[in-house]
Amino acid sequence: MTVLSVEGVSKRICSRTLVQEISMTVKAGEVYGFLGPNGAGKTTTIRMIVGLIKPTAGRIRICGHDIQTGRRDALRSVGTIVENPETYSYMSGYRNLLHYARLAGIPRRKIKSRIEEVAEIAGLSDRLDDLVKRYSLGMRQRLGVAQAILAHPRLLVLDEPTNGLDPAGIREFRQLIRKLAANGMSIFISSHMLSEIQQMCDRVAVLHKGQMIAEKQVAELLDSEPRYRIRVSPPSLAQSILQTWGKEVKEVGREELLVTIDQKEVPAMVRLLVKDDVEIHGVEEDKNSLEETFLALTGEQRELSSSGGKGEQEHA
């Protein structure tokens, strides 16, 4: 069942195209990653999905309801945290959830049990009575999720939720997301960090300069041709042996080659090189291959490597 459908959506402001003809669908229980460098148009897209701004063209439907013509029904199925969750730091976690439960129109007699439920899901049960200003950033983000799911949305939309979290915070957040998806909720989550998307999502769309340049299963993205970095001498001889063997080889440094081969082929590669007196000083898996796949797609080395700050880009 399709929970979110985005069809040919564009957003122009004055003569500037921020987002151009984006199409995607998110199914029930799917964690969908929306990946792109700073300034790619992720927040703009998300703001259209949650009805904060109108698309210039195209159509967005949530659980079959058009966000323009059936706004109330569409938004009833969405929970969201766009940018930072709005929490009142001088109030307890419980009071915050109480406030939002009332706003969400949860019947009075159900409020307490629902707050306890979402707190349990978000791993905050023990800390509900503490003031939010005593919470870690990770706990605040999870409180934001607890708040967003109060009214049982089918779709949860999160804009860069792990920004600023430490590794433990990211791990806890990831577990929370997977738990929600396992219970059938769809989650649309943006990030500029590949490693997060890779670990959290089932499918990923890659956005670049307002355009969707790829949509893949994460497994497919990861499978994209394992590569090995080998340090050899002489590299020219190694290169020609490997090319004769039919492998893609690239010189990436002094006496360093990047070879596209399957893990199973590594022993054969070593044997082949040693047989022809090539000295091997090191063989290691190229851990950056996913990042490079992404960079090859976007061609934007600079922006991905800088994790902070807003990037400005030219749009055609």
Minimal distance, residue 290 CB to ligand ATP, in Å: 19
Alpha carbon dihedral 236, 238, 241, 242, in 10-degree steps, equals: -110
Burial class (CB in 10 A: 0-12, 13-18, 19+), 157: buried
Which sign, positive or negative, has the C-alpha torsion 291, 297, 300, 306?
Answer: negative
Q: In whole angstroms, what is the distance from residue 304 CA to residue 194 CA? A: 9
CB of 163 to ligand ATP, least distance (A): 9
Binding mask 22-61 for ligand ATP (x = CB under 6 A): --------------x-xxxxxxx-----------------
For residue 157, the minimal CB distance to ligand ATP (Å) is 13
Q: What's the CA angle centered on 52, arms 46 and 54, to 5 degrees?
A: 90
Of the candidates 172, 193, 169, 180, the one whose C-alpha atom is nearest the C-alpha of residue 28 is 180
Residue 80 vs 96, nearer CB to ligand ATP: 80
Choose, by CB under 6 A, the member of 109, 113, 312, 316 that binds ligand ATP. 312
Closest approach of ligand ATP to the CB of residue 2, in Å: 24
- Of residues 75, 44, 54, the one with CA closest to residue 148: 75
Our CB check for ligand ATP shows the closer of 36 and 93 to be 36
Residue with tokens 């989650």: 187
63, 74 Cβ separation under 8 angstroms: yes
Query: Nearer to ligand ATP by C-beta: 100 or 188?
Result: 188
| Candidate list 4, 6, 9, 18; residue touching ligand ATP; CB under 6 A | 18
Report the residue number, 44 or 96, with the smaller CB distance to ligand ATP: 44
Q: Residue 13 or residue 268: which is nearer to ligand ATP going by CB? A: 13
Residues 149 to 208 in contact with ligand ATP, rule: CB under 6 A: 192
Whole-angstrom distance, CA of residue 310 vs CA of residue 125: 36
Of 207 and 259, CB closest to ligand ATP: 207
Both tokens of residue 147?
Answer: 């708040």
Single residue of 1, 13, 268, 296 touching ligand ATP by CB under 6 A: 13
CA quadruple 3, 75, 55, 217: dihedral sign: negative
- Between residues 286 and 300, which has the closer beta carbon with respect to ligand ATP? 300
Q: Is 313 in the site for ligand ATP (CB under 6 A)?
A: yes
How many residues interact with ligand ATP (rule CB under 6 A)?
Answer: 16
Binding site for ligand ATP (CB under 6 A): 13, 16, 18, 36, 38-44, 192, 310-313
